[in-house]
Amino acid sequence: MSNLIIDEGNTLCKMAVADGGAIVAQFAGRDIDDAALLKIVGQYGINNIISGSTRRKRIELPQDIRGIRHIHLGPDTELPISIQYSTPNTLGSDRVAAAVGASVLFPHADVLIIDIGTAITIDFLDDNGVYHGGVISPGPAMRAKALNTFTSCLPLVDVPSAAELRGQSSTESIQFGILNGIRFEVDGYINAYQEHNSGIKVVVTGGAADVIARPDVVHEPNLVLIGMNRILEFAGMM
């Protein structure tokens, strides 16, 4: 059975084809292209589709493929984990899927889940598969835009992938300040969790995940896609 996974994030729309639990093809673009979607469905013989979006309540599929079983990841979706969150209707599908992906990578373990993208989310899943929420803060591009928007003279900069401790120009000072700020912030959360739980697993994902380089952190770029595929499989078991 071939599954199509559609993850529409704030910046990119990622699609993947999964077969037998393994991701066999991936695609990415700014928005969903109906023609490309139809081509993927035909080429890979898609049987099931799961979609999730941080931009809108629901992704509407093209008319030609609406006969395929489609699950939209939302507050009412049945999950293989439990959600302990006071406002589940406001919980982003990407955070839910990342938590499920963490449960696939580390079954029966406490996991700290870090997603560094448009926003940064740091969430906790316990060893009983219960999601306990976490924190949200601005991502790299958002920080750069804020410094440019709310000051008179600071330029809008691209954020590089590496930083020194001292910038030798205003541009470098902003770039390094953003990257080091994120690195120190995330390191601080990891260290705080590890103080209370030395055996906790840590996984990082997202477009700027390379900011974090620690031997005790697992990098999994497909964490959300893995989680969405697991949710689709779980729905098929019920």
Residues 198 and 102: their CA atoms lie apart, in Å, by 18
Q: Which of 7, 94, 110, 115 is catalytic?
A: 94
94 is known as an active-site residue: yes
Look-up: residue for tokens 């499989």?
A: 233
C-beta separation of 28 from 13 below 8 A: yes
Q: How is the beta sheet containing 111-116 ordered, strand by strand?
A: 82-83, 130-138, 119-125, 111-116, 201-205, 218-219
Residues 177 and 183: their CA atoms lie apart, in Å, by 10
Collapse the DSSP code of 46 into the 3-class scheme (helix H, G, I; strand E, B; otherwise coil) and give the result: strand
Residue numbers annotated as active site? 94
